[in-house]
């Protein structure tokens, strides 16, 4: 599926008032839009730093359509929708009518006819969420929960919320290192796009040449490529380690996992090269002893579990904002996002 045939992301994702209609990719969205998502997500924490529950989507139906397995992302979307009082349906795609020969279009149209308001879609094909939003169900809000190697926008936004909450520094002042399987990672692409949009000027991408994608230099001067781990993480404020995407690697890209850990695994010695208050992140699931040492994953600088909690808040924000037009009529969205 080629994105070139689709409209630009901003045309698809925003309505005529400039509000979020779908959330498909970070690309094409403004700093103002991303900041609004972060501010709305932050508003879902109370003074004790606990997530709150609000009836913003009461009577709405959210359908989780996961054509690709993911327990963590699907569960946090479900938790987010329920905290907004939405009706949640998890559709078992493996046993759906598509396995019996029905086309994807017909399956989605039938689900739309069941009064669905939001589809949360994960698919192995890049561009699947765009295709659904543009040509299949444009009246349903489509939230991209990960499509192929292309994008994972809610993961990027929960990473941005974690960075903002944990470092308490402006993005313009941060040095961020992203380490690992850049070539196959939709998280890396979305994180880089979000960091750039929010103003980060020092983004380091660290990986062996076999795990670097072609054309990454197109991101510009604020994204630097490193093959050497030690040079890449020097004086960083944030380190994001990525999972080795074994299921997406279509040719031998690593000599071995042990060799990768030796060259690029995050351990105590390497972390000491970053700033003393550097935070360590990972989108999960982690391969301990491959991308990251257990002493770091469980250590005081790791904010990995905080990312999970922040993920619920961000997904609450995206779900609520995708229904913003209707919520504004009820005077609800202003109550949470100002």
197, two tokens: 């949009």
74 annotated binding-site participant: no
Residue-level pLDDT at 2: 36
pLDDT of 126: 87
- What pTM does this model have? 0.91
105 belongs to an annotated ligand binding site: no
Q: Is 82 annotated as a binding residue?
A: no
Alpha carbon distance 77, 9 (integer Å): 22
Known binding residue 130? Answer is no
How far is the C-alpha of 23 from the C-alpha of 29, rounded, in Å? Answer: 10
Mean pLDDT by groups of 10 residues along the chain of 338 residues: 45 88 95 97 96 96 90 94 97 65 83 94 90 92 92 97 97 97 90 97 92 75 91 97 68 71 94 98 91 96 97 98 70 51
Task: Round to whole Å and give the CA distance between 130 and 77.
Answer: 19
CATH code reported for the domain at 153-307: 3.40.50.1370
Q: Note whether 3-152+308-337 and 153-307 share their fold.
A: yes
Residue 243 known to bind ligand: yes
The answer to whether the annotation marks 204 as part of a ligand binding site is no
Known binder of ligand: residue 165? no
Q: What is the rounded radius of gyration, in angstroms, for the C-alpha atoms of the chain?
A: 20
248 is in an annotated binding site: no
Residue 100 among known ligand-binding residues: yes
Q: Is 72 annotated as a binding residue?
A: yes
Decide if domain 3-152+308-337 falls under CATH 3.90.105.10. no
Domain ranges of the chain: 3-152+308-337, 153-307
The pLDDT of residue 3 is 37
């Amino acid at each position: 599926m080629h994105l070139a045939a689709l409209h630009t992301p901003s045309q698809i994702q925003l309505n005529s008032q400039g509000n979020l209609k779908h959330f498909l990719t970070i690309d094409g969205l403004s700093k103002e839009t991303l900041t609004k998502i972060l501010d709305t997500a932050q508003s879902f924490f109370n003074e004790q730093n606990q997530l709150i529950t609000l009836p913003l989507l009461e009577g709405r139906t959210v359908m989780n359509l996961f054509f690709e397995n993911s327990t963590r992302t699907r569960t946090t979307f479900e938790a987010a929708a329920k905290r907004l009082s939405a009706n949640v349906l998890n559709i078992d795609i493996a046993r759906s009518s598509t396995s019996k020969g029905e086309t994807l279009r017909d399956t989605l149209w039938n689900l739309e006819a069941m009064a669905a308001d939001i589809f949360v879609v994960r698919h192995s094909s890049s561009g699947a969420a765009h295709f659904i939003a543009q040509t299949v169900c444009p009246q349903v809000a489509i939230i991209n929960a990960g499509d192929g190697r292309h994008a994972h926008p809610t993961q990027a936004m929960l990473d941005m919320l974690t960075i903002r909450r944990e470092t308490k520094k402006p993005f313009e002042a941060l040095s961020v290192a992203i380490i690992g399987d850049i070539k196959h990672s939709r998280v890396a692409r979305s994180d880089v796009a979000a960091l750039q949009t929010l103003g980060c000027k020092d983004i380091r991408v660290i990986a062996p040449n076999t795990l670097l994608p072609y054309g990454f230099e197109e991101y510009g001067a604020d994204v630097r490529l490193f093959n050497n781990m030690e040079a890449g993480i020097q004086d960083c404020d944030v380190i994001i380690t990525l999972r080795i995407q074994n299921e997406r690697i279509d040719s031998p890209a690593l000599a071995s996992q042990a060799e990768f850990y030796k060259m690029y695994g995050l351990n105590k010695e390497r972390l000491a090269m970053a700033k003393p208050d550097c935070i360590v992140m990972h989108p999960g699931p982690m391969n301990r002893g491959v991308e990251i040492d257990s002493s770091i994953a469980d250590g005081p600088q790791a904010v990995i579990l905080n990312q999970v909690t922040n993920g619920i808040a961000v997904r609450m924000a995206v779900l609520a904002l995708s229904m913003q037009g209707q919520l504004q009529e009820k005077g609800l969205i202003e109550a949470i996002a100002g």
